[in-house]
């Protein structure tokens, strides 16, 4: 009871008060109706008694009370008795099996079994002396049955109302319980509006439609919070990545402007500025690509090309540039694979993978690129025996701006593999990686050839 809300207490109190009021008023009503019916019947009986006396007087013959019989209503019986209580005339109903001892005091109500009667006995006086008596009997069965009906009705009304109140309370409670997620959802939404994106409904009630809605909203909030945090991290990562080359450019420019320099020293500063400018340019083009990948609406400009020839050309070009990484590149490329791809994106995908395999390699290491077609699936794999990736970092490498080595030696922004994944998925493909620290890595991209 203590845990009931005020509105429920009021509702409960109201229902109990109404039931009590009914339990008091309906029996009083029963008593009043019953009195009214009995009094009416009694008045009628007394009137009929008077009429009988009149009739018998005018006829002056107690043996012939027929005119009196005509005056009375159906359901009323009259009999005339002699002074020694022998019935002279008239008749009594069969079920009225009482002895004929009269009682002249007042109307009385004998009962036998299921019948109840109203009886009036009157003395007959003829020529100044008692000349017997008569009895008027009225059956009360119709009143009793009407009152019984009324009693049943009253009990049924009280029961039905009590039941109805109980059901209203129960269904109100159930409704309140069923709608509790709505309240929780509203409260959570209000907290989120105030800027707290970590809030969840955490509904632990029944898993009905509303319970499932609450669960779905929690999942949606998880995604929203994740995306929101990712965006926040993205902005700070971009600023961070841009700050490094800009600082280098400013420092080099200041250095060049600081006092007289030789041509070689100016050239050195300009080289730094050029390099950092190129890095920024590459970062910005990768960021543009990321932005395209991010809105999810980019439609690749597909063209059917010989990706065997294209892959071979890219590998050859990268092999030439790989000289300074001290790792060698070999390839196993199946001839004549024609596939529908966006050429620039496909090239970006291979370059990023081979670039990484060279970058994260060790002196004297190797890189193997292979391209195979198996039924309708084209598999491009890039394998190396470089530094490998730890189990802990493996699931994170596809994230934007993730770098296992955060030191300034790794100057790349950490966008390469997220672009690889986006390009593969844009072409309906999947990405897989196997790697072991200090042993090497195998990246495999599978794209349906249709
Ligand atoms: P980055 O610009 O740093 O190369 P990527 O998205 O291409 O960014 O790669 C993310 C991280 O995954 C890298 O910083 C590196 O730690 C790891 N990684 C990627 N490729 C390899 C590889 N072939 N061998 C070892 N580590 C790799």
- 403 C-alpha vs ligand 1 centroid, how far in Å? 6
User: Alpha helix (H) ranges present in 258-371?
Assistant: 263-295, 307-321, 343-359
pLDDT at 59: 53
Q: Best substitution site from 348, 354, 360 to test ligand 1's pocket, by max atoms within 8 Å of Cβ?
A: 360
Establish whether residue 441 lines the binding site of ligand 1, counting it when its CB lies within 6 angstroms of any ligand atom. yes
Q: What is the mean pLDDT of the chain?
A: 85
d(C-alpha 237, C-alpha 244), whole Å: 11
pLDDT exceeds cutoff 70 at 399: yes
- DSSP H or E run through 134: strand 129-139
> pLDDT tens for residues 35-83?
999 999 999 888 888 887 777 766 555 455 555 555 555 678 888 888 8
- 417 C-alpha vs ligand 1 centroid, how far in Å? 7
> pLDDT tens for residues 278-302?
888 888 887 887 777 766 777 888 9
- DSSP H or E run through 58: helix 6-59
- 286 C-alpha vs ligand 1 centroid, how far in Å? 15
d(C-alpha 415, C-alpha 293), whole Å: 12
pTM score, whole prediction: 0.55
Establish whether residue 139 lines the binding site of ligand 1, counting it when its CB lies within 6 angstroms of any ligand atom. no
- Main-chain phi, psi angles of 382, to 5 degrees: -125, 115
- At 405, the pLDDT band (50, 70, 90 cuts) reads confident
- 252 C-alpha vs ligand 1 centroid, how far in Å? 29
Establish whether residue 385 lines the binding site of ligand 1, counting it when its CB lies within 6 angstroms of any ligand atom. no
Q: Are 317 and 339 in contact (CB under 8 A)?
A: no
pLDDT exceeds cutoff 70 at 237: yes
Spatial CA neighbour of 201 closest among 193, 189, 209: 189
Take atom 11 of ligand 1 and give the residue whose Cα is closest: 403
pLDDT at 417: 94
Take atom 14 of ligand 1 and give the residue whose Cα is closest: 403
pLDDT exceeds cutoff 90 at 380: yes
- At 377, the pLDDT band (50, 70, 90 cuts) reads very high
Mean pLDDT across the stretch 210-218? 86
Take atom 7 of ligand 1 and give the residue whose Cα is closest: 416
Take atom 16 of ligand 1 and give the residue whose Cα is closest: 404
Establish whether residue 283 lines the binding site of ligand 1, counting it when its CB lies within 6 angstroms of any ligand atom. no
Q: Best substitution site from 417, 421, 432 to test ligand 1's pocket, by max atoms within 8 Å of Cβ?
A: 417
pLDDT exceeds cutoff 70 at 408: no
Establish whether residue 434 lines the binding site of ligand 1, counting it when its CB lies within 6 angstroms of any ligand atom. no
Mean pLDDT across the stretch 356-381? 93
> pLDDT tens for residues 70-124?
555 567 888 888 888 888 888 788 778 777 788 887 899 988 877 888 999 998 8
d(C-alpha 398, C-alpha 356), whole Å: 13
- 405 C-alpha vs ligand 1 centroid, how far in Å? 9
pLDDT at 70: 56
Query: For the chain, how far is it from start to end, CA to CA, in angstroms?
Result: 69
Pairing outcome for strands 328-333 and 366-374: parallel
pLDDT at 92: 83
Establish whether residue 245 lines the binding site of ligand 1, counting it when its CB lies within 6 angstroms of any ligand atom. no
């Amino acid at each position: 009871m203590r845990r009931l809300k005020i509105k429920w207490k009021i509702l409960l109190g109201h229902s109990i008060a109404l039931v009590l009021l009914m339990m008091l008023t309906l029996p009083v009503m029963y008593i009043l109706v019953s009195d009214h019916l009995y009094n009416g019947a009694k008045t009628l009986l007394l009137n009929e008694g008077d009429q009988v006396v009149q009739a018998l007087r005018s006829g002056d013959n107690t043996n012939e009370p027929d005119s009196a019989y005509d005056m009375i209503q159906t359901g009323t019986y009259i009999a005339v008795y002699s002074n020694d209580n022998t019935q002279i005339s008239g008749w009594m109903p069969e079920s009225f099996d009482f002895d004929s001892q009269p009682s002249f005091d007042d109307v009385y109500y004998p009962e036998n079994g299921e019948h109840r009667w109203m009886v009036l006995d009157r003395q007959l006086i003829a020529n100044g002396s008692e000349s017997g008596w008569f009895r008027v009997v009225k059956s009360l069965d119709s009143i009793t049955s009407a009152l019984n009906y009324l009693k049943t009705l009253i009990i049924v009304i009280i029961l039905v109302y009590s039941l109805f109140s109980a059901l209203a309370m129960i269904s109100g409670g159930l409704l309140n319980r069923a709608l509790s997620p709505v309240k929780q959802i509203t409260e959570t939404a209000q907290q989120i509006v105030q800027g707290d994106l970590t809030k969840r409904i955490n509904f632990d009630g029944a898993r009905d439609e509303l319970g499932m809605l609450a669960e779905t909203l929690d999942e949606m909030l998880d995604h929203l919070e994740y995306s929101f945090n990712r965006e926040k991290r993205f902005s700070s990562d971009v600023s961070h990545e841009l700050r490094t080359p800009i600082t280098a450019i400013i420092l080099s420019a200041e250095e060049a402007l600081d006092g007289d320099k030789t041509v070689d020293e100016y050239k050195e500063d300009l080289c730094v500025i050029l390099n950092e400018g190129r890095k920024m340019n590459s970062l910005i083009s990768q960021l543009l690509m990321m932005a395209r990948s991010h809105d999810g609406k980019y439609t690749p400009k597909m063209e059917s090309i010989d990706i065997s020839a294209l892959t071979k050309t890219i590998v050859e070009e990268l092999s030439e540039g790989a000289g300074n990484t001290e790792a060698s590149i070999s390839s196993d490329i199946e001839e004549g694979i024609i596939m529908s791809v966006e050429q620039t994106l496909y090239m970006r995908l291979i370059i990023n993978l081979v670039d990484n395999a060279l970058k994260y390699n060790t002196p004297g290491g190797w890189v193997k690129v292979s391209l195979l077609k198996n039924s309708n699936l084209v598999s491009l794999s890039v394998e190396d025996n470089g530094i490998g990736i730890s189990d802990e970092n493996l699931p994170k490498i596809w994230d934007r701006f993730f770098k296992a080595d955060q030191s300034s030696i790794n100057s790349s922004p950490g966008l390469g593999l997220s672009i690889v994944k986006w390009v593969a998925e844009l072409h309906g493909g999947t990405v897989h990686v196997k790697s072991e620290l200090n042993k090497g890595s195998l990246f495999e991209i599978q794209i349906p050839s249709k």
